[in-house]
Amino acid sequence: MKQVKFTDLGRMDYKECWDLQERIFGNTCDIKLENRRRTDGIQTPTIDELLFVEHPHVYTLGKSGDMANLLLDEEGLKKAEATFYPINRGGDITYHGPGQIVGYPIFDLDHFFTDIHKFLRYLEEAIIQTLAEYGIQAGRIEGLTGVWLDWNDEKKARKIAALGVKCSRWVTMHGFAFNVNSDLAYFKNIIPCGIDDKEVASMHTELGRAVDIEEVKGVLRAKLAALFEYVEA
């Protein structure tokens, strides 16, 4: 059965974690390129990794994003004790912060399936199934990525998890941000994902209580492993 190396990085600065992702991602891509060049039949295996992390307050803008969706100037960022990075994933602007599970699957999709849309749907499905364990019904909105509550009601729809990935040589990086105990006030400083008519949600506001984030991580890890059919190394 496929194996995935899991690491919980705890609280880590966004740039430090981004650099770590880039190193793992770059190493995997380099191995795949070298394997394709070899003529002696010797192949070096690539390693799939899943990182969980919690970031200090930070806003990130995807390569197709619009700076106008960040509603803070430099002074406003300082007051919010937040940082900002334009980055190399897909999607628009999003927020990461305490109380959120951020997941970075750095997978060689040649080990799973070479279909980036299926990959995104599996990430969404793992979160949908995790929420169901807590009695929260969630789903998808056609044409939009992420996981939504009240997804069938245009006026009430609220996003509880955002997705944005990069893929090269069928190797992925970046991933998802899942609001568990997130301070939703920080989302008021952006137009989340560039969608100005939808609200955001967090598990603790839906349930009316703080949630054990470590417990949620355990449920989510199990759902990801079952969907992608791997065991943790």
- Cross-strand partners of 59: 84, 95
**Alpha-carbon distances of 59 from 29, 115, 117, 187, 224, rounded to whole Å:** 27, 28, 25, 9, 26
What pLDDT is stored for residue 67 in this prediction? 87
Q: Provide the CATH number for the domain around residue 78.
A: 3.30.930.10
Total domains in the fold of the chain: 1
Instruction: Give the tokens for residue 69.
Output: 């969706």
Q: What is the pLDDT of residue 218?
A: 98
Is the confidence at residue 192, as pLDDT, over 80? no
Inform me whether the pLDDT recorded for 193 exceeds 80. Answer: no
Active site residues: 193
Which residue is associated with the tokens 């245009």?
Answer: 154
pLDDT at 195: 56
Q: How far apart are CA 118 and CA 142, in angstroms?
A: 14
Phi, psi angles (nearest 5°) of residue 142 = -55, 130
pLDDT in tens, 76-131: 999 999 999 988 887 788 899 999 999 999 999 999 999 999 999 999 999 999 99
Position 196 scores a pLDDT of 52
pLDDT at 194: 54
Domain around 77: 2-232
| Model pLDDT for residues 114-173, shown as the tens digit of each residue | 999 999 999 999 999 999 999 999 999 999 899 999 999 988 999 999 999 999 999 999
Extract the tokens encoding 174.
């970046």
Task: Give me the percent of the chain exceeding a pLDDT of 90.
Answer: 82
Q: In whole angstroms, give the CA distance from residue 160 to residue 202.
A: 6
Whole-number average pLDDT of the chain? 94
